[in-house]
Structure formats: structure tokens, C-alpha cells
Amino acid sequence: MAPDPDPNARASAPLAQRSRRAGAPELAGIPWLPRLGPAERERVVADLRVVDVAAGERICRIGRPVTYWFGLVDGLLKMSNDGTGAAGMPITFAGLSPGGWFGEGTVLKREPYRYNVQALRKSVVAGIPADTFDWLLDRSIGFNRFVMMQLNERLGQFIAAREIDRLTNPDERVARSLAALFHPQLYPGVGELLRITQQELAYLVGLSRQRVNEALRALQSAGVIRIEYGGLRVPELERLRTYRHAG
């Protein structure tokens, strides 16, 4: 399997210095923004920043203090420990698809990051300052409900990730990992078509690109996905979630 994208291959300036204000299309893709009142929305629009991130660049790094709550506007990210844990084994906790916001638990606790978040391809990332996040929690019932739902769904995602790690059949591993990337609450920007390459999926699943290719063809033969130019389409998410290898 090919190595991860080089984390040193990044633009010279830090993310914060390269960030810009969000445009109307980027604001339209933020799922929790419609839940805010006029005053809350006005502050968020003023405080929210957007940045273009290169493949291999890290948005969050283990041990760094939390300063922003982040969301993915476009692209693909990987949340992992990169082998820095006690066991020394690299673990991918989750793939992050468009429309997803992440790290709310770390922002709530104001603790250093216990994971890295790295771009698998050129991506667009949004963020609001941690102080704005806290201000919204103090004011907005709609925002509180969104964060509570995020925490609940994220817990379910990590429980599912533990189950995926125990699967021995590669086709089932790929199916469950794909289903997680199509999660309608965590990643509302995906819809039915996920733009992902076989190599990117291999990085997330922990298999070779060749084995991922075999698994995708098996899933397509079973009718649970459709391989299209530049991505994968899932007609029925529940069938993908419950896929079992027939062999």
C-alpha cells in the first residue's frame, strides 16, 4: 500500500494567515446555520473563516491547543493518530466527508487534540473560533441541539469503527467504511454521490488499492453501489450498511 500523502507538502503560510471570509455558496453548505437567530447568524458570518488546504496538510495536530471548531466544505479528510499511541500502531478513527463538522468534544473540553486531521486531497475547510462556539452554546437552543446530535452520532460512528476493525472480510470492511462516509447527519453535503478515489478509500480502510478495487467491484455486482466517473453512488444506504459477503 502506498504511504500517506506527505504532511510536509503544504503551503508556506499557516492556515489562519491564509484564511478568508466565507462566500454565499460556502455559507449555504453549513448545516447548522439555519438553526440560528438573526443575531447569532450575524456574529457567525463575521467570525467564520474559510481556507484552502493542500493534500497532505494537517488541520488538527496531536498536542496542539484547540482554537477553532472546524467543518469540511469540500474535499476529503482523515482523522487518525498516525501511530503515536501507546501501542505504536496507526489508527484511522474516521473519514470526514463534505458537510461534516468535527472536534466539538475537544472544543467543549478545551483540551489539546488527541488526533490528527489531514487532507487526503485538496480541500476547503471552514471554522469558527472556540469562543464563538461557546457563545453560541450560551445563546442558541437550535445550536445546542445540533451539537448534541453531533456528539450522539459521532459516538455511534466510533462504535461502528470498532466493529469494522474486527471484520475479517475485506468486502464488508469497505462496505461499512463507505457507509460511514455517507452518514446523512454527520455529512449532509455528500448526498448519494461521494467523490473519492480508490487510493483515498484505501488510506481510510487500511487495505491496498488493489484489494479495495476488488471489493468495490463485488459491491457493485451485489447492487449496493454504482461506480461512476470520479466517485461512487449509493442508491440505498441501508443495503450498504448491512451488506454481508456471500462467500
Q: How confident is the model at residue 190 (pLDDT cuts 50, 70, 90)?
A: confident
Do 149 and 174 share a structural domain? no
pLDDT, tens only, 8-40: 444 557 888 899 999 999 999 999 999 999 999
Question: In angstroms, what CA-CA distances link 207 with 2, 3, 5, 217?
Answer: 10, 12, 16, 15
Q: What is the CATH number of the domain that holds 24?
A: 2.60.120.10
pTM for the model: 0.83
Tell me what the mean pLDDT of segment 74-94 comes to.
Answer: 76
Do 139 and 225 share a structural domain? no
Domain that holds residue 230: 169-241
In a domain, 194, yes or no: yes
Do 53 and 128 share a structural domain? yes
Q: 3-state DSSP call for residue 189? A: coil
- Lowest-pLDDT choice from 74-83, 98-107, 216-225: 74-83
231-233 sheet: strands from edge to edge = 193-194, 231-233, 226-228
Tell me what pLDDT residue 88 has: 60
% of the chain residues with pLDDT over 70 = 89
Tell me what pLDDT residue 8 has: 47
Tell me what pLDDT residue 184 has: 87
Tell me what pLDDT residue 7 has: 45
Tell me what pLDDT residue 165 has: 67
